[in-house]
Amino acid sequence: MANDGVPTEKNGNEARAIRTYQSDVEELLSHEGGSLTKIAAIENEKRAPPVPFDGPEGPDLKETVLVISAVLIILGILTVGFIYYWEKGASSTKVTLPNNPDIIVPDSVVDIDISGLTRDSLIAALNKDRIQTTATLGNVVEFRLVQGQGDAAPAITATDFLTALNASAPSALTRSLQSGFVFGINAQNINQPFLILKTDYYQNAFAGMLAWENTGLADDLGPLFFSANPATETASTTGSGQATFGDAVFNNRDARVLKDGSGNIILLYSFPDKNTLVITTNPDTLNAVAAKIVAGQLVR
């Protein structure tokens, strides 16, 4: 039989009414003398949010933003200062670029003003720099020959250089020369000079060098490369006492060489390629300069 429409559960032989919210309210009103107002207050307390933790508060958001902003401003000031002083220090170092980077890439460059110099004073000035210039063993130093002072001073041409030396180079050679050239030293136990000339016509340049051997090549360039008189101290001479050149091969490079009375090479020239003529004093300098010429071709 139903119990006034209220479902029941069986537990053994007894039936027990299921607890509902209505039954709880009726029981509270009957046994504890409560009221509906009191019951509503109790339920409201149950639904109230938890009491906040009364401990130390975290950092204020505004203060955090201010601290981060201050740090960023300080970092910005330090960065700008570093860049300014770095650029200032870099600009205070003067770097002299090679006069002819497409010919050779030297280890260093020295400017020499030859304005108004005669042949003798030019040779004296170049020999002084050749002797006094210091460089790491094996390095190649270019003497940048210019007319005037400062970075804007124009470099002289190959023809200007030969003219300043009063050289008796044949016209077949001078007409075949390009304007660019390099005079410098290779640092060995003593500084060894070298001269690089560029040509557009190998046949004329080679024929001109052979002719120059007989018209004063050793006398014209000798004072820049050696101090001995080649007419009296070379191993082989012509009937007139003039020094003569001979053939030689160094590292598969054909060369023409001039030797002193002891058989030591004092001057040689070679064509590392069809457009480049190197005049120097020994095979080691020829090899060092040829390597720098290859580096210049790679840059180009």
Please tell me the predicted confidence (pLDDT) of residue 79.
75
Summarised one tens digit per residue, pLDDT across range 121-154 is: 999 999 999 999 999 999 999 999 999 988 788 9
Spans of the chain, pLDDT less than 50 = 1-2, 9-10, 12-13, 88-98, 228-241
Distances (CA, A) of 296 to 107, 267, 290: 12, 24, 10
Please tell me the predicted confidence (pLDDT) of residue 35.
61
Please tell me the predicted confidence (pLDDT) of residue 160.
95
Summarised one tens digit per residue, pLDDT across range 212-252 is: 999 999 999 999 998 644 443 444 444 444 568 999 999 99
Please tell me the predicted confidence (pLDDT) of residue 164.
95
Residue-range domain boundaries for the chain: 15-46, 108-299
| DSSP codes, 208-219 | HHHHHHHHTHHH
pTM, to two decimals? 0.64
Strand partners, 246: 257
Beta strand residue intervals within 106-174, DSSP E: 108-113, 140-146
Please tell me the predicted confidence (pLDDT) of residue 125.
95
Please tell me the predicted confidence (pLDDT) of residue 55.
52
Helix (H) or strand (E) holding 129: helix 119-132
Q: What's at 220, amino acid-wise? A: D
Q: CB within 8 A of 245, min separation 6: which ones?
A: 213, 217, 256, 257, 258
Strand partners, 187: 191
